[in-house]
Amino acid sequence: MEHPTLRSMVCFIALAAALALPACTGPARAPAPSLYERVGGREAIAAVVDDAIVNLAADERINRRFGNASIPRLRRNLVDLLCVRTGGPCTYGGASMADAHEGMQIRPGEFDALVEDIARSLDKFQVPAREQGEVLAILRQMKSAVIEH
């Protein structure tokens, strides 16, 4: 038969160890902010898109591609797409990139011009280099779905 005092001590030590364990691991860390949060959220994305649309309209390498486009729809879809792809709480309701660009025969240089125009807007709004790189990488991931379809 076990000694009651010994059993109490074992229970006390086990409880003390269980309570001390979280202290040993350090304070709980908040999750890292998403790219969406780091770029400033939906308003910041919308401002960059608005400026990029101005750049696209002035860019002779690509502006003819947007001659018949519904600019409000283009804006909404691009804002929503970037919002979703950066981890924001938005919903993208547009077509897939492949479906949206089907039959357009967009050349790689035209796609690169669009990315450059968006990069200029990111620069204008002083988006930090790390975040710029991540946003531009997201855009570049879409290249194969956009060009030469």
Per-residue pLDDT of 110-149, as tens digits, reads 999 999 999 999 999 999 999 999 999 999 999 999 998 7
Q: Please give the span between the terminal C-alpha atoms of the chain, in angstroms, as a whole number.
A: 81
pLDDT band at 8; cut points 50, 70, 90: low
- State how far the Cα of 76 lies from the Cα of 90, in Å rounded to an integer: 11
- State how far the Cα of 35 lies from the Cα of 44, in Å rounded to an integer: 12
SS3 125: coil
Which whole number is the average pLDDT over 84-113? 96
pLDDT of 109 strictly over 70: yes
Q: Say what the pTM is.
A: 0.79
Which whole number is the average pLDDT over 93-114? 95
Which whole number is the average pLDDT over 66-82? 96
Which whole number is the average pLDDT over 10-24? 49
SS3 115: helix
Fold for domain 35-146?
Globin-like (1.10.490)
pLDDT of 95 strictly over 70: yes
Q: What are the extents of the domains in the chain? A: 35-146
Across 9-23, 85-99, 103-117, 131-145, least confident range:
9-23
Residue 2: predicted pLDDT = 53
DSSP state of 87: T
